[in-house]
Structure 1
Amino acid sequence: MDRKIEKKKWNAKRITTIAGIAGIVLLVSGSIYFTSGKSKLNVDTERITISEIKKGPFQEFIPVNGVVMPKTTIYLDAVEGGRVEKLFVEDGTTMKAGQPILKLTNTDLELSLANEETSVFNVLTQMQISRDNAQQNTIGKLNQMAEVESALKEAERVFKLNKHLYEQKAIGLQEFKKSENEYLYAVNRKKLTTKILNQDSSSTKQQLTQMGESYDHMKSTLALMRKKVGDLIVRAPVDGQLTSMDAEIGQTKNKGQRLGQIDVLSGYKVRVDVDEHYISRVYNGLMGEFTLDKTYKLRIKKVFTQVTNGRFQVDMEFIGAIPKEMRRGQTLQIRLALSDETQALLVPKGGFYQQTGGNWIFKLSDDGKTAYRVDVQLGRQNPDYYEVLQGLQPGDKVVTSSYDTYGDMQELVLKN
């Protein structure tokens, strides 16, 4: 007789599956439990920087480098091209206005001057001849006028005499009419001679005026040509120091080519390079300062808006005293102020900003044993401080060194 065998409910496979599921549940539950609290990290206080939040004067400024330059620089360019024949001075010489620096030679220009001088001399000679001829012609006309006036007087005398004699019946009509005709002829001749003399005088005057104007024009051209030849000797335009001279004997210089410059030694300015990031915030009147033996003040006088290689330039002038040992080309480290000085809550700059972006910081607990994250809001900055707008109070202590090794830690346990 057959016997019914009952199936076992808890075999080894089922027990293993249930145990695995239970293990996973315990693992997940443990992870949730242990991660529900704050993650902590032990930190040695000797390896971090702890700073105190303070309220004090704050000014937004940027560090820039400036180069000392003469206040006024005049560039020397070749007004006329030519070959360098002679150097009168060397680079670095202190010059007086009008003192010669170098001499150029230009054969074509000198030949043009000689031709112009010859032309002016010919015109002057022709004018003299024309003036002499005009004077002789005028003298001849005046002599003719004198003869006409003399003839008129004689004809008038005879006519009046004959008229009286004719009225007295002493002479005949024929003789009277003859004297009358001669008198009228003399009157008309004088009118004609006077008209000719006036026309001749006006024509001569106009001719001499035109020739005078032509002569004056040629003299101006000659003076200009002489000036161009004179410009072959390059002279100092003002008192100052000759610098950056670029000329050697025998070298050919083209018209307009740079020969050097004169630095006026009456004062200095500072040429400063500024990052283009600040171009909208830099303008005339902004102040700066630098320190040598003491602190000196500067003010922006001119802004050059052209950007080159990510930077633009400004010129700054000295306000008040100038360092006694100041020299051309000296480099100054300047603090250029972008705002006025105000009272603000300050946190020293540090490596923390690279990881937090200024959005949070580790703040120490009251007992100084731990540091925990707090949200902050930072505003303006300068090379030393950030301006704290929210999240911290005066007297709070924070960790300002780098957070590179902290990862996502929420709390630091500080160990001595």
Structure 2
Amino acid sequence: MDKTIPRKNRKFRYLTIGICVFLVVSTIAFFSFNKKRTLNVKIDELMVQKVEKAFFEDFIVFQAKVEPLNVMLVNVTEGGSVKEIFAENGAMVIKGQPLARLYNPNTELNYLTQETAIIEQINNLNTGKLNIRNQELNLTKDLVLIEHDYNDAKRVYDMNSKLFEKDVISKNDWNTFKESLRFQEERKKTIQKTIQKEKQTNQIQISQINNSIRIMEQSLDILRNNKKNFLITAPESGRLTSFQPVLGKTFQAGESIGKIDAQQGYKLTAEVDEFYLEKVREGLKGQVEFKRKDLEVSITKVIPEVKNGHFIVELVFTSKENIALQDGLSFGVKLILSEKNKILVVSKGSFNQETAGKWIFVMKGQNKAEKRNIKLGRENHSYYEVLEGLKEGESVIISSYSDYKDFEELAISSQ
């Protein structure tokens, strides 16, 4: 008798196979997607440095030019052409010394015309003042005559008053003498009042005329002094620089024709990148090298106006040594922005151009380097300050990443 054998469940078999296939595919996909992009490079193409703790000094370096500490411009007051030259560029001059003479026929003619007009006005005012004096004198003469007539009338009146009392003269004649005295008395009072008022008016007019004459004389003095402005003189004693006039050359009023160095020392002026505007301030110390010696300098002025991406600073020498400097010399200034202290640093390199200080390749043994996120802080000519992501003693690649900035891992070989 035959025995019946039951068939196995094929659905379970297929499910098991499917699960196994899915697991294999998923595993392969996982490792494929999570596998780091790796580039093979040679060790001699890389520059490797260790992360270390070192003394970090925050400073900047820029070029500065020597200028006189106290300089005065020699300006042209009256425009014109150069007629005579009395001094040479670089010569020592004293205050008031003639340097050059300009001429301008039109301006000189204008000055002459104005001077003539002012003198004529002064003469007219003096004539008016003389006429006022003459009028006053004539009134005084009239007063003398009137007083004489009054005295005669008074004398006649006094003499006839006694005769009238003795009935020697008639009443009609007496009234005539009496009326004559009254008339002369009124006449005298009238001329006295007139003279008094005339004197008061004349005093006001003469005061006004004198004030006008004084103003015109001042204008005349200014005009004559302006004529002297064609002669250019040294405004201060010192060394004459930037003085290069040429006979016949025309200068406009207010234009600078030279400078006077008062020989009171020198300063440095420099243009600094606007990036450091917040860091640079008055009082910061720095150094310059002069004849193989380090000389100390200090910032005395910061002009915060930014032009073409730069602002201007002024520095003075604080070293006590006697320094034989010349206007126009150039120095490299090392300006200290912070005190020297020991911090974690990484050497400067080209890697920062591609990474902007956000990541770096860190060595893992001798044959491998991995990309790691970092954070950098301050910098100087030698180091970057490390804030996050690196530890002391780790080795990093600081050369350019331009060929492998898109990779996350480097496989390093010796050949």
Q: Is the pair's TM-score, using the shorter chain for normalization, greater than 0.5?
A: yes
> Relative to structure 2, which stretch is displaced further, 116-125 or 299-308?
116-125
Q: Residues 182 and 38 of structure 1: is their aligned pair in 2 closer, same or farther, counting only changes over 3 Å?
A: closer
Aligned to 1:3: none
Rounded Cα–Cα distance in structure 2 between residues aligned with 1:38 and 1:204 = 111
- Name which of 259, 272, 275 aligns with 2:273: 275
Describe the SS at the equivalent of 1:150: helix
Letter in 1 for 2:107: L
Describe the SS at the equivalent of 1:151: helix
Q: Are 2:331 and 1:332 equivalent residues in the alignment?
A: yes
Aligned to 1:261: 259
Letter in 2 for 1:140: N
1:314-364 per-position Cα deviation (integer Å, ceiling 9, x unaligned) = 333444547602221111112334456555322221233234432333445
Q: Residues 173 and 84 of structure 1: is their aligned pair in 2 closer, same or farther, counting only changes over 3 Å?
A: same
How well do the aligned residues superpose, as a CA RMSD in angstroms?
Answer: 3.8
**Residues 5-404 of structure 1 correspond to what in structure 2 (within 5 A)?**
36=35, 44=43, 48-59=47-58, 61-167=59-165, 169=167, 171-279=169-277, 281-292=279-290, 293-308=293-308, 310-319=309-318, 321=320, 324-339=323-338, 344-363=343-362, 372-403=370-401
> Relative to structure 2, which stretch is displaced further, 200-209 or 261-270?
200-209
Equivalent residues of 1:53, 1:398 under 8 A apart = no
Q: Residues 372 and 213 of structure 1: is their aligned pair in 2 closer, same or farther, counting only changes over 3 Å?
A: same
Rounded Cα–Cα distance in structure 1 between residues aligned with 2:176 and 2:403 = 144
Aligned to 2:21: none
Runs of 4+ in 1 over 6 A off after TM superposition: 28-31, 367-370
Describe the SS at the equivalent of 1:175: helix
Rounded Cα–Cα distance in structure 2 between residues aligned with 1:37 and 1:229 = 88
User: Percent identity between the aligned chains?
Assistant: 27
1:381-412 per-position Cα deviation (integer Å, ceiling 9, x unaligned) = 12221111112334444443445566636366
Q: Residues 272 and 165 of structure 1: is their aligned pair in 2 closer, same or farther, counting only changes over 3 Å?
A: same
Letter in 2 for 1:241: R
> Relative to structure 2, which stretch is displaced further, 46-55 or 261-270?
46-55
Equivalent residues of 2:57, 2:336 under 8 A apart = no
Aligned to 1:14: none
Aligned to 1:5: none
Deviation at 1:39, TM superposition (A): 5.2
Equivalent residues of 1:347, 1:388 under 8 A apart = yes
Which sections of structure 1, spanning at least 5 residues, go unmatched?
1-24
Which sections of structure 2, spanning at least 5 residues, go unmatched?
1-23
1:1-49 per-position Cα deviation (integer Å, ceiling 9, x unaligned) = xxxxxxxxxxxxxxxxxxxxxxxx99x969958x958958675589634
Deviation at 1:128, TM superposition (A): 4.8
Equivalent residues of 2:50, 2:393 under 8 A apart = no
